[in-house]
Amino acid sequence: MARVAILLDEMYEDSEFRIPYERLRQAAHAPVIVGSEAGRRLTGKRGEESVMTEVEIGDVSPEDYDAVVIPGGRSPERLRTDPRMVGFIRAFFQDGGLVAAVCHGPLLLAAADVVRGRTLTSWPAVQDELFEAGARWVDREVVEDGNLVTSRKPADLEAFSRALLRRLELRAGAHPGGGAEGLR
């Protein structure tokens, strides 16, 4: 079972949170909603989802999680203005942790300066900012580059979730005994 941090703030894309969250739970992983403060109610931009943050970003470290998911919508624009979020994702990524971002999620990766030399995808409107941060942008359903998995939009979420789950399985299988301690 992997512990997966889902970095979230207001105005996230409802389905880009819900579908990966549900797929992770169905696969017996432990998704944890991490926000700027614990116990804060966050509402999706479509008003279809309302969730409570479980943990404050200041109370986590990269070693606590096996993977990170960054849903899109307006949430990543807010997350990238929080130095704690940027520092966490930078440290997690540089430590080789699995990072999965969809739609506008790669904005946080650009702010953390971890996309240089990487190939990724996103919502098309984000491609210029990613290019400026040194990334190679392609228009594909899912792109995997090292410890990075990216996807474009809600229509891609099943493929995105499958790629995330497969990568978690591969990481667990690479270490005898699997388990969360074997994923990183």
* φ and ψ at residue 122, rounded to 5 degrees: -170, -175
Q: Pick the catalytic residue: 33, 42, 70, 103?
A: 103
Of the candidates 137, 50, 64, the residue with the CA atom closest to the CA atom of residue 101: 137
Helix axes 157-173, 14-26, angle to 10 degrees: 40
Distances from the Cα of 83 to the Cα of 36, 108, 151, 167, 176, angstroms: 10, 11, 24, 28, 36
Count of alpha carbons within 13 Å of 7, Cβ hemisphere only? 36
CA distance 77 to 1: 30
176 included as an active-site residue: no
Enzyme catalytic residues: 103
